[in-house]
Chains A and B, each alone.
Chain A
Amino acid sequence: MVVNAARLAVFSPVDSTARVEAVVRRLADAIAVGLLADGEQLPSEAELAASLGVSTVTLREALMALRQQGMVETRRGRGGGSFVRAPAEIDVATRLRLIAVDELRDLGDHYTAIAGAAARLAAQRSLPSDVAPLWRSLDEMAAVAARVAPGMIAQLRRLDGRFHIEVAAASQSARLTQEEIRLQADIGPLLWLSHEALGGHDEMAAQHHAIARAIESGDGDQARALAERHVLDAIDHLIELRLGLEE
């Protein structure tokens, strides 16, 4: 039996486990930071599987894991489906346990490369009309941060994601933008939490403003350095936290 099970594992799809974990992580992060709101109904399994690019089997496994963690509730019958259950408190440790240290470092390497390259090209290629959305996002973030209200963190987090995607889009590279969007989904929420813990919203806003100014003034080297620093600070903090976690 043992031999057979081992042999079955050998011949199972190579990254099916990794795919389940990736889906769990993505949805758990989105729920943790409020991108998916408490009580929100998830799309149907077929739709969700299609948009995430995984099989329905993979998706079901991921939903099962999320149910066990209490982050998703499935109701049967009319009006049924899968619903988001937001945890009362965001637990970075729980999120971080899903990622090994070397994977964090590698995600950081990848994201630093993308964010830095995008910011440099954005500085070289931006017109005032490309920079305008960046300032609009930063102004909106400042307005949201100024009044403490329910859902404020989720809103800030969305605007933060939008700002970084707008920077990438200003590079005029569709591929860099697609990578930015993917990385935002994979690691954005954790980086956000890391920034919150590191310097709070004021420091985050200061870094965002510095990046936007460098892009506006056409200073590619400066824009790249600032965008890289922005990612690396947060990643370093996450790695430190992760190193301190007991398995």
Chain B
Amino acid sequence: MITDVGAGPHSQAVTEALTRVADAVEGVFGTLREVRDASARCVRRRGRPPVAADLAGLRPLLWARLTGNGVAALIAGIGFIAAPGLLADAHWYLEWWQEHPAGAPVQLLRDLDPSSSAFYDYTHWDWYTGPLSGAERTICGPYVDYLCTDEYSLTLSVPVVLDGAFVGVAAADVFVRRFDGAVLPALREIPAPAFLVNASGRVVSSNTVRWIAGSLYRGGEGFAVRPVRDLPLSLVTAGV
């Protein structure tokens, strides 16, 4: 449903918004590519199957990407999610770190065994199934992340592949309110209702209460839909 409306009087504001959104999202994916490459190095066989402790090598990178300005200010949690069975000593494993308001990042420790917990079979979540099915860049959500943060979040993820085999996912959590903080100034410059939707039409960020984050855009007359580069996001504008 992509409508090309050509160059309108407000096309500059639209172009700038597209750039702002794409840069924010690409920044997170850039970080995820670093985590992806480091994860692959950690689980590379050294004459024995990898174990959970091998992933401790990721920590300096994960901690660094959780603290500071720029992209790090967007990221609330980051890590590597192992494909079940990858590690010799833990069938289910996340090397997952979250920012902590009081200081140093903290590790998420959860009972991940589906036989004792109904919640944490992570292989059904979009942030896992997307990369598993070959998507280079997955944006899951916005959704209520009751698994990790209890926040309304986006989870961005990329596949980790070693010698041609899928071994897990590198992912990062971005709270919707922070993503909003990064892109709303640009959306506000567009002098008409404008909002970002994910691939399913769920609104991620918006300059109008009519289409607020979490609501659904199911298409409509008088709206122009523009892809945000080659990301699974679109900018929808009314009459611009």
**Partner-B contacts on A (CB < 8 A):** 37, 125, 127, 129-130, 133, 136, 155, 158-159, 161-162, 165, 168-169, 171-174, 177-178, 181
A25, B151: Cα distance in complex, Å: 27
CB distance from B66 to the nearest CB of A (A): 21
Q: How far is the CB of A46 from chain B (nearest CB, A)?
A: 14
Query: Do residues B144 and A177 form an inter-chain contact, with CB atoms below 8 A?
Result: yes
How far apart sit A174 and B177, CA to CA, in the bound complex (Å)? Answer: 12
Does B126 sit within 8 A of A, measured CB to CB? yes
Cβ contact within 8 Å between A158 and B117: yes
Listed by A's residue number, 15 A-B pairs whose Cβ atoms lie within 8 Å are: A37-B116, A127-B200, A158-B118, A161-B118, A162-B119, A169-B143, A169-B144, A171-B144, A172-B142, A172-B143, A173-B144, A173-B152, A173-B214, A174-B152, A178-B146
Given A155-B118, A161-B118, A174-B151, CB of A125 within 8 Å of CB of B216: yes
Task: Specify which chain B residues have a CB less than 8 angstroms from the CB of A130 in the assembled complex.
Answer: 143
Q: How many A-B residue pairs have CB under 8 A?
A: 47
> Is B214 in contact with A172, judged by CB distance below 8 angstroms?
yes
Cβ of A125 and Cβ of B215 under 8 Å apart?
A: yes
Q: Are B216 and A127 in contact (CB under 8 A)?
A: yes
Chain B residues within an 8 Å CB radius of A177: 144, 146, 150
Q: Are B118 and A181 in contact (CB under 8 A)?
A: no
Considering the chains assembled together, what is the distance between the CA atoms of A196 and B150 in angstroms? 30
Given the known inter-chain contacts A125-B214, A125-B216, A159-B118, please indicate yes or no for A174 contacting B144, CB distance below 8 A: yes
* Residues of B contacting A127 in the complex (Cβ-Cβ under 8 angstroms): 200-202, 216
B240 to chain A, nearest CB (A): 26
| B residues lining the A interface (CB < 8 Å) | 116-119, 124, 126, 142-144, 146, 150-152, 200-202, 214-216
Q: Are A136 and B146 in contact (CB under 8 A)?
A: no
Q: With a CB–CB cut-off of 8 A, which chain A residues contact B201?
A: 127
Inside 8 A of B143's CB, which chain A residues have their CB?
Answer: 130, 169, 172
Q: Chain A's nearest CB lies how many Å from the CB of B52?
A: 19
A133: which of B124, B142, B151, B200 is its contact (CB, 8 Å)?
A: B124
List, in ascending order, chain B residues with CB within 8 A of A174's CB.
144, 150-152
In the complex, residue of chain B having the shortest beta-carbon distance to the beta carbon of A126: B216
- Residues of A contacting B151 with CB < 8 Å? 174
Bound-complex Cα distance A161 to B150 (A)? 16
Give every chain B residue within 8 A of A173 (Cβ-Cβ). Answer: 144, 152, 214
Closest to B149 in A: A174
Chain A residues within an 8 Å CB radius of B126: 129
A136 / chain B contacts, CB cutoff of 8 Å: 124
CB contacts (< 8 Å) of B152 on chain A: these are: 172-174
Q: Which residues of B contact A37 (CB under 8 A)?
A: 116
Residues on the B chain within 8 Å of A125, using CB: 214-216
> Which residues does chain B contribute within 8 Å of A165, judged by CB atoms?
119, 146
Q: Which residues of B contact A159 (CB under 8 A)?
A: 118
CA distance A102 to B146 in the complex (A): 30
Shortest Cβ distance from residue B112 to the other chain A in the assembled complex, whole angstroms: 14
Which chain A residue has the least Cβ–Cβ distance from B117? A158
Instruction: Give the CA-CA distance A129 to B142 in the complex, in Å.
Output: 12
Compute how far the CA of A213 lies from the CA of B116 in the bound complex, rounded to whole angstroms: 28
Query: In the bound complex, what is the Cα–Cα distance between A159 and B48 (angstroms)?
Result: 37
Complex CA distance for A136 and B214, rounded to whole angstroms:
23
Inter-chain contacts of A161 with B (CB < 8 A):
118
Among B118, B143, B146, B151, residue most surrounded by chain A Cβ atoms (within 10 Å)? B118
Nearest 9 A/B pairs, CB to CB: A158-B118, A172-B214, A169-B144, A177-B144, A162-B118, A174-B152, A174-B144, A127-B200, A159-B118
Inter-chain contacts of B118 with A (CB < 8 A): 155, 158-159, 161-162
* Residue pair B144, A172 in contact (C-beta under 8 Å): yes
Smallest Cβ-Cβ distance to B218: which chain A residue: A127
Residues of A close to B117: CB separation below 8 A: 158
